[in-house]
Structure 1
Amino acid sequence: MEASKLHRAIEAGWATAAALGLQVDDAVVITNSDRITLRLVPCDVLVRVSLSAHLAGMEFEVEIARRLAEVGGPVAELDPRVEPRVYERDDFAVSLWTYYEPVGSEIAPALYADALERYHAALRRIDLEAPDLTDRVAGALSEVSDRKQTPELSDPDREFLSSTLSNQSTVISGGKQLLHGEPHPGNLLNTRRGPLFVDLATCCRGPIEFDLAHAPEEVAEHYPEADHDLVRRCRVLMWALISTWRWRWDDQFPDRSYWRVETLNRVRAALA
């Protein structure tokens, strides 16, 4: 989030929690991207704050979390001390979550695969309207084609991303189920309760191999009946999508300049 809005966003998260009766003496910024994540103390609540323009996405995430918790899915839960919804304050949308003290640094591939398999099983137990992965690809293709959306993308790289997205879109024409959408290691917490998934708003419909493509390569080896060729092709598609997002004119991802180059390199490496 831009520096000009960061302070106001922190204040919105702080004030929302305080107004709900939680004691707040300090706020620690954990992540800062298109939205910020705060740990408020001493109430020990995790707060996510986004611009109100992203209210619908925040509400979608809260609804997914609520439903998955009801069926025992391995997800970080909303804070039980407040009403499970998104709050609006000063042009920001705010959601409050349980804070989990991290345990260790890495999750073994077998445990990662088990958590993802249980997550997919929980998703099959809920009825939820979610966008199709084809919509995500179509959106990326539109942005690559639109110079106003990706003005700094060179012509050779624009053609490369466009052809890659078009060619790899065939990988998602098979079986579809609800997915996390971006279950990379940064979205899987290692807690005393075991691995728990976070950042659920990327939920979409597609093949399970698309989720596996976001995990470390060894994870797919432990996931029953995974199509390993499809995982590799989905990894190409994943990096092409991420690269497109980094080239958006309004992208606020940390170290954007580095990741613009790195993601293009990773697309080429995945294709090779």
Structure 2
Amino acid sequence: MEPSELRRAVEAGWVTASEVGLQVNDVVVIHNSDRVALRLVPCDVLARVAPSGHLADSEFEVQVAHHLADVDAPVAELDPRAGPRVHVRDAFAISLWTYYEPVGSEIAPADYADALMRHHAALRQIDLDAPHFTDRVAVALREVNNREQSPELPDSDRELLSDTLSGLSAAISIDKAGDQLLHGEPHPGNLLNTRKGPLFVDLATCCRGPIEFDLAHAPEEVGRHYAGADHDLIQRCRALNWAMFSAWRWRRNDQMPDRNHWRAEGLNQVRAALDRCGLG
């Protein structure tokens, strides 16, 4: 968010928490992009603040967290003092979560795989209306194929991303027998190392698909510790994920820091992933 919008987001998070009875003396910005994560002290709450245009996503994330709280999933929990709801203030959607002090050590691949297996097992126990991963691919494909939405994307790269998104999405989704609820983006940035063990965050990306779609977001070593995973399918999903990542970076209004670097890096990763699949 731009500085003026960030100031308003901080104020919205502060006031919302105070109104539900939480003590807030200071706010620390943990993450700032199109949405922000704020640590509120001394109540130790994490406020996730998004523009109200993301209200549906915020409500969906709270719904996922509320369902998973009953099945012992390794996920960050909503703050019990605030309740499972999304607050709307000053054109922002605000949800209040438990803040977890990070533990310094890196999560070992075997522990990462174990957390993901337990998360998948928990997701199989809940009933939730979630989109299929191909719905997300279709959104990315529309961005790529719409020159007004991605005006700076060179034609050759546009063709690469379009072919990769459409071709791999169709190939991966042919057999839906093994599909289940997934985290959607369980990359290292969405897995916290806490005193309670590894916990997944950013649950708004929950979708349906093969478990390999999730494994493709994790470091490659993690898949080797996940029993029963199809490693060829992981590689194809990895190429698809990099193509989606690249599609978002070329959007006209993308706000990711260091966007130009990630535009180039994303395309390089797509080509490398396709080569590993034998599809280069």
TM-score by length of structure 1 reads 0.98
The equivalent of 2:17 in structure 1 is 17
Distance 1:44 1:138 in 2: 38
Q: Does 2:210 align with 1:207?
A: yes
Pairs aligned (count): 272
Shift of 1:173: 2.6
Matched, 1:255 2:252: no
Give the structure 1 partner of residue 248 of structure 2.
245
Q: In structure 2, what is the Cα distance between the partners aligned to 1:242 and 1:162?
A: 13
Of 192, 196, 206, the residue aligned with 1:193 is 196
Q: Distance in 1 between matches of 2:269 and 2:105?
A: 24
How many Å separate the matches in 2 of 1:224 and 1:150? Answer: 40
Query: How much does 1:165 deviate?
Result: 1.0
Q: CA deviation at 1:184?
A: 0.1
Q: Deviations over 1:158-211 (max 9, x none)?
A: 011111112211123323111100000000010111110000000011110010
What amino acid sits opposite 1:77 in the alignment? E
Question: TM-score of the superposition, structure 2-length normalised?
Answer: 0.95
**Which amino acid counterpart does residue 192 of structure 1 have in structure 2?**
R
Identity fraction in percent: 71
CA distance in 2, matches of 1:188, 1:130: 21
Matched, 1:85 2:85: yes
Query: How far 1:90 moved relative to its partner?
Result: 0.6
**Unaligned runs of at least 5 residues, structure 2:** 276-280
Instruction: Tell me if 1:137 matches 2:137.
Output: yes
Q: Counterparts of 1:83 and 1:226 in 2: how far apart (Å)?
A: 37
1:7-156 matched pairs, under 5 angstroms: 7-156=7-156
Could you tell me whether the CA contact under 8 Å between 1:2 and 1:252 is conserved in 2?
no
Query: What CA distance in whole angstroms lies between the structure 1 residues aligned with 2:60 and 2:219?
Result: 27
User: For residue 263 of structure 1, what is the amino acid of its counterpart?
Assistant: G
Asked if the contact 1:88/1:94 (under 8 Å) is kept, the reply is: yes
Query: Unpaired runs of 5+ in structure 1?
Result: none
Q: Distance in 1 between matches of 2:154 and 2:270?
A: 16
Identify if the C-alpha distance between structure 1 residues 237 and 29 changes in structure 2 by more than 3 Å, giving closer, same or farther. Answer: same
The counterpart of 1:232, out of the listed 208, 231, 235, is 235
Question: 2: distance between equivalents of 1:153 and 1:105?
Answer: 39
Contact preservation (8 Å) 1:130, 1:178: yes
Cα distance in 1 for partners of 2:240, 2:83 equals 38
* Alpha-carbon distance in 2 for matches of 1:259, 1:106: 24
